[in-house]
Amino acid sequence: MSEEEMIEGGGEGVIKKFLYLNRRAPYGSIYALESLEVVLIGAAFEQDVSVAFIDDGVYQLTKGQDTKGVEMKNFSPTYRALEMYDVEKLYVFKESLDERGLTEDDLIVDVEVVDAKQMADLMDEQEVILSF
């Protein structure tokens, strides 16, 4: 049994607004990787998907990740593949970038950088929020 074999029973044409909220660094815990797995599987259900990155979650998108020393898989290239799954609405919280000395140029994908008000509005308009 694999994930791909088990995609069934969606909402019969119902389209909801889903937000995946990524809050944690890519390594150090498995939340980021397993969040990405949900986004990829969830794409098959053709919902209205947004993905947001806040706090240490912004590190998930940084360029030049080298995981050899910790013997973990560098899964950051997968974020570039999200576009092929029609997951195109990526939001990054400006304050989290600023706090970490990062800018949009440090990120491996095109994103929309949003302030606190915009992030709050984004969350407010969602029907399902999955927080990782």
* Beta carbon nearer to other proteins, 93 or 132: 132
Closest CA to 27 of 19, 36, 18: 36
Place of tokens 């994908």: 109
* Count of residues near other proteins by CB under 8 A: 30
Cβ contacts of 132 within 8 Å, gap of 6 or more? 20, 21, 22, 23, 24, 31, 32, 34, 35, 38
Question: Least CB distance from residue 81 to other proteins, whole Å?
Answer: 17
User: Does residue number 42 form part of the binding site for other proteins (CB under 8 A)?
Assistant: yes
User: Does residue number 9 form part of the binding site for other proteins (CB under 8 A)?
Assistant: yes
* Beta carbon nearer to other proteins, 27 or 45: 45
Residue type, 50: S
Question: Least CB distance from residue 102 to other proteins, whole Å?
Answer: 24
Place of tokens 């030049």: 64
Scanning 9-17, 58-66, 69-77, 102-110 for contacts with other proteins by CB under 8 A, the matching segment is: 9-17
